Amino acid sequence: MTPSPVTTEIIRSALIQAAEDMNMTLIRSSYTPTIYEGKDCAVALLDREHRVLGQSSGLPIFLGNLEECTRHTEAEFGAGVWQPGDVWVLNDSYLGGTHLNDCTVYAPIFVGGELVGFAASRAHWIDMGSKDPGGSMDSTTIYQEGLRMGPTRIVVGGVENADVLRLIETNVRFPYVTLGDMRAQVACARMGVRRLGELFSRYGAETIDAARAEIFAQTERMERQRVAEIPDGTYEATGYLDNDAIDLDTPLPVTVRITVDGERMTIDLTDCADQATGPVNCGRAQAVSAARVGYKLLISPSVSLNGGSFVPLEVEVRDGSMLGARLPAACQYYYSSLGMLIDLVVKALAPAMPEQVAAASYGDSMIVQFAGAVHPRTGEPFVTLEATVGGWGAWRGGDGETALINNVNGSLRDLPIEVVETLYPVRVNEYRIREGSGGAGEWRGGDGVVREYTMEADQDLSLWWERSVTPAWGAFGGEAGAPPRVVLNPGTEHAKEMLKVNSLRVRKGDVLRCESGGGGGYGAPSGSGVPRKWLSGT
């Protein structure tokens, strides 16, 4: 049967809304501010063949990636492994592609005794028992990064698997909130089971299957058409990560080579750096996801993700490279190369798509992490993880956005000052726009921000800031944005500049000043042609 266009659109919207309901269930049920404030999570509904039916707003870096977890589980154990009421977890960096903190929780969905799909979510658990609280900036093997789980049942037939929960509880530093976040993801999965079941009850399996096929076909046709409009040829771009946090003097190349041939596009990542000693590596699945983000930015930015997305795209990753990590590679900060990769996809295709592309963004999550064994107000251990917003690249027709989260993170939010000061022993002295940090151009890049903290107790500071070697480049004559800058105790004789550091002991009264980078400009600057100054001291 062929459903009417109206019915197809109603089902399309209902599937997307079902995913949004799942996402809100997760966020509202979670225990840590990383999820309920920062929204470091993403959810999806999948069909029985592991294709996306609907995905919520969330982290774009997980585009078309959650299904890798259900696919791997089925490949390992067989299709008969799925049983009603079961819920699974997986965080293996070499399977899901991310770091161990990103735990994917998923459940099969049965209607009338038949498997019809899966509900899946991925969220950042605040600690996985790594050698340092929250995660290590200087890990050199996966074994230093915490508890690693292949496909594991945490709920069996609707009942929690006490043995597995006990294993998790005894291997993390913050078991109460960790299991709380895990249960929030279980609730999210159950919401997905409920919502998809309601749709099948209302419309019937035949109508749902036919609408799904039409939705997928529409998306595939549209993407093939958009790819075919790009002139055939090979396009290439290269950028450099600052370092791997171990060898601070060696930048790491990220090279993107794109071939367009009719309705097909291939993104070749095989010339990227070899697997590194430090924690900048990622599993193949996440490299593919990042390539898909860059592709989607240009090919189908306004179309919701579904099983018809990315059909015209092939991504090639070299096993043993930084983007195709093998055991025992460290993967804690896997996303630095991926933000660069996304910008490079856009840069490579700029000559062929000048109307669609933008200059580069500030590029990385710019992590600030405070941790301590004793919170002065509660007496309990603590750890916080903050991403920092920055400037985005300008485009033909508009300036870049100012103070926006980086491209891999989408709906992620920086933590509000009130939350930071309430939960952790730091005071935020200043939070404002870093004026002039965006690159000059006919349209200028967006500005970064300045965020300054004072320590209200002795504690450990960790930083992961990137893109000083390759700051946000301009496009078509636009100038680069200012690189990031972080200073401990600025303006004193003990001032120390640094971008990456692991568990540095800081004292009560120490001041940390963070300045995120600006976006690149688009088009040559007009007027006098004098570049805008970077106000590095403000």
Count CB-CB contacts under 10 A for residue 449.
25
Q: What's the N-to-C CA distance of the chain in angstroms? A: 64
Give, as one character, the DSSP assignment of residue 413. Answer: -
pTM of the full predicted structure? Answer: 0.95
* Cα–Cα dist 134/332, whole Å: 10
Of 36, 150, 12, give the one whose Cα is nearest residue 90. Answer: 150
Residue 165 structure tokens? 């929960």
Say if residue 338 is exposed, middle or buried (CB neighbours under 10 Å; 0-12, 13-18, 19+): buried
Q: Phi/psi of residue 425, each to 5°?
A: -85, 60
Cα–chain center distance at 44: 15
* Cα–Cα dist 494/460, whole Å: 17
pLDDT at 527: 62
Of 298, 254, 314, give the one whose Cα is nearest residue 280. Answer: 254
pLDDT at 408: 84
* Contact criterion met (CB below 8 Å) for 343 and 157: no
Count CB-CB contacts under 10 A for residue 233.
11
How are the residues of the chain apportioned to helix, strand and coil, as percentages rounded to the nearest 5? 30, 25, 45
* Cα–Cα dist 291/340, whole Å: 10
* Contact criterion met (CB below 8 Å) for 452 and 430: yes
The set of residues, in sequence order, having a beta carbon less than 8 Å from that of 57 and lying 6+ positions away, is 20, 23, 410, 411
Residue 461 structure tokens? 């500071």
* Cα–Cα dist 409/509, whole Å: 32
Is the preceding peptide bond at 354 cis, omega within 30 degrees of 0?
no
The set of residues, in sequence order, having a beta carbon less than 8 Å from that of 247 and lying 6+ positions away, is 277, 278
pLDDT at 536: 37
pLDDT at 190: 98
What are the pLDDT tens digits along the chain (538 aa)?
788 999 999 999 999 999 999 999 999 999 999 999 999 999 999 999 999 999 988 888 886 789 999 999 999 999 999 999 999 999 999 999 999 999 999 999 999 999 999 999 999 999 999 999 999 999 999 999 999 999 999 999 999 999 999 999 999 999 999 999 999 999 999 999 999 999 999 999 999 999 999 999 999 999 999 999 999 999 999 999 999 999 999 999 999 999 999 999 999 999 999 999 999 999 999 999 999 999 999 999 988 999 999 999 999 999 999 999 999 999 999 999 999 999 999 999 999 999 999 999 999 999 999 999 999 999 999 999 999 999 999 999 999 999 999 988 888 999 999 999 999 999 999 999 999 999 999 999 999 999 999 999 999 999 999 999 999 999 999 999 999 999 999 999 999 999 999 999 999 999 999 999 999 999 999 864 444 443 333 3
The set of residues, in sequence order, having a beta carbon less than 8 Å from that of 136 and lying 6+ positions away, is 130, 144, 145, 279, 332, 462, 502, 503
DSSP 474-508: -BTTPPPPPPPEEEESTTSTT-EE-SEEEEEEE-T
Beta strands in 303-419 (DSSP E): 313-316, 367-372, 382-386
* Contact criterion met (CB below 8 Å) for 274 and 324: no
- Angle at CA 331, nearest 5°, toward 402 and 347? 40
Give, as one character, the DSSP assignment of residue 277. Answer: S
